[in-house]
Amino acid sequence: MTSIGTRLHTWLSGLLVGTDEAGNRYYRERRRGRGRRERRWVIYEGDMEASRVPPDWHGWLHHIVAEPPTERLPAEPQPWEQAHQPNLTGTDAAYRPPGHALQGGARDKATGDYEAWQPE
């Protein structure tokens, strides 16, 4: 949930730039002070989780690109690119390596290239 201070600041000083497919709304300052970089922010739809910001909008928020995705042509997706996913840590879909306690706790036998340290 967005704080009342953020809502008030957005209402007084924010200019809506665009919305992403998840419903997150992106804003910039209406007026920028001299010698200052433009402030940009996002109001999340639902949980406030930074990993829910798609790569195009992330680049604009962090001043990597000057124009927001709404003002430029989308880049052609590369064959190796995957669809954007939020942070899956703490969910059932999180990655768990072999040997993890929640994956049965049994890992593969050592290959023999490891020697345990023995104190002298």
Going by C-alpha positions, the residue among 83, 38, 33, 26 that lies closest to residue 63 is: 38
Domain count for the chain, please give it. Answer: 1
Going by C-alpha positions, the residue among 65, 45, 44 that lies closest to residue 55 is: 65
Is 21 a domain residue? Answer: yes
Is 22 a domain residue? Answer: yes
Is 49 a domain residue? Answer: yes
16 forms beta bridges with: 27
Other beta carbons within 10 Å of 61? 19
Q: What's the domain range around 57?
A: 1-71
Residues 64-113 pLDDT 10s: 999 999 888 777 888 998 887 778 888 888 888 877 877 777 767 767 77
Is 17 a domain residue? Answer: yes
Largest CA distance in the chain: 70
Is 104 a domain residue? Answer: no
Which residues are CB-contacts of 80 (< 8 A; sequence separation ≥ 6)?
none
Is 25 a domain residue? Answer: yes
Instruction: Evaluate if pTM is beyond 0.85.
Output: no
Percent of the chain with pLDDT over 90: 32
